[in-house]
Amino acid sequence: MNDSTAAYRLREQLKKFVGIVFPHVPKSQKEFLGQMFFGIQAGQTTVVSRIARELDEDILLKKTEERLSRHLLDEGLAATVQDAVLAQGAACVQEDTIVSIDPSDIQKPYAREGGMPLLAKVWDGSKSRVGDNLGYNLCFATATPSMSRRIVPLHMAMWSAKEEGFTSENDKVLDVVRKISGAVDKRGVYVYDRGGDGDWLFDFFIEEGLDFIVRLVGDRHLLHWNGRRLAADLAETCEMKYRDRVAFKSHGKEREVPIEYGSLPVRLPEHPGAELRLVVVKWPKGEKPMMLLTTLRAARSRRSLRQVVEGYLTRWRVEETIRFVKQSYEVEDVRLLRFDRLRAMVAIVLATAYFAMAWLGLGDRLAVLADHVKRVSRRMFETPEFFFYAIADGICRLFARHGRWNGLDGPDETPEEPCQMILAL
């Protein structure tokens, strides 16, 4: 398959993606979404003027930009796109699927209040507190089938602490979890980092009957057979029955370290009727034990305990996914002067990421196309394990150099050497 053929097949798949994922969207809005998905990937940008330039229409660039900006204000556009992506992604969520929830942000360090709508101070990871940088809050959710490296974007919500009706970040995160759990019929194991060590999240999980793995800070009291004790104290007394090695990516580097792990039966003082397990993981000397509270009561054997540990480590891959989305589509470079447009753009970026990360890998035949896209990206070194950067670069190269967007129903350019492979969903 040459590059011209691959670009042709990609455009055909993008048309099918719009038609299948958004079947009930009005035709004009459906065409707009196709243009946005194409332009964002061809230019790897969220700047509307650059998206318009990638469409290369036979009209004034200003007219194209104005039309795209006008459609971004369509009523309910953000919710329509988010719901469509979630409906598609929910099909892959089974009882043991890891559903990772991770709050993030869009930082606008050079923006000033009044320059963009509803700018508010966001979390500064280097200071572990809300810093001086202005921006918007995000909550990103992905699904990873058990014992799999596949990542499926499920939801990405954006909000501002200054928007009308805002109560707290916790309520916004709960809205995301509630929406996902409703779409997947409460299937999956919800994984949250130390920011989830709070009564607000445990109350919701237990009352809704959801399975979870949440990392504890250490100062939480738990009920054990010998009374009420701090989680950190219980971790010190936990018998480390098993030894293993785990590989994961931390601070951009692959690490493989030896670990010891075990578990204890515990309960929460606020929910004494809920049977839980405290899974303790000890790292090499000098690092504090990792404490995971889970509803998976079967976490006693080596196999089941390792699944809990790997389930939590899988959550770290959502951070890599967020970096991929931000860097590949320049989300933090977004420049829009209406908050509704910002929210709609974030939802469209979610759908764009779903196309690149999940849609192209739906079947073996599409995997052939995805493999060609990776080769086109021309990485200087071997394609990394998190290969979605190569996918995004390859799509950009093919869309930008071989043909343009001619509409969902318009005639497309015939590839130089038509491929005989049939791409079927």
pLDDT value at residue 425: 28
Cα–Cα distance list, 50 to 42, 274, 314, 320 (Å): 10, 53, 35, 26
Alpha-carbon dihedral of residues 362, 367, 371, 376, nearest 10 degrees? -60
pLDDT value at residue 409: 77
Residues of the chain with pLDDT under 70: 1, 124-131, 147-149, 248-255, 286, 298-300, 361-387, 410-425
Residue among 341, 409, 381, 296 at smallest CA distance from 35: 409
Cα 154–Cα 311–Cα 100 angle in degrees, nearest 5: 25
Tokens of 358: 């999940």
Domain chopping of the chain, boundaries: 3-73+340-401, 79-326
Residue among 199, 223, 200, 196 at smallest CA distance from 212: 196
pLDDT value at residue 252: 55
Residues 23 and 84: their CA atoms lie apart, in Å, by 9
Residues 392 and 408: their CA atoms lie apart, in Å, by 21
pLDDT value at residue 127: 55
Within 120-266, residue ranges assigned H as helices are 169-183, 199-208, 231-237
Report yes or no: 53 and 340 within 8 Å, Cβ to Cβ. no
pLDDT value at residue 251: 55
For residue 333, give the amino acid letter: D
Report pLDDT digits (tens) over 61-84: 999 999 999 999 999 999 999 999
Tokens of 183: 């779409």
CATH assignment of 79-326, among 3.30.420.480, 3.30.2040.10, 3.90.350.10, 2.170.190.11:
3.90.350.10
At how many degrees (to 10) do helices 3-21 and 364-376 cross?
130
Residue among 154, 152, 87, 183 at smallest CA distance from 359: 152
Report yes or no: 161 and 168 within 8 Å, Cβ to Cβ. no
pLDDT value at residue 397: 87
Report yes or no: 37 and 13 within 8 Å, Cβ to Cβ. no
Residue among 373, 376, 334 at smallest CA distance from 357: 373
Report pLDDT digits (tens) over 233-268: 999 998 888 888 877 665 556 667 888 899 999 999
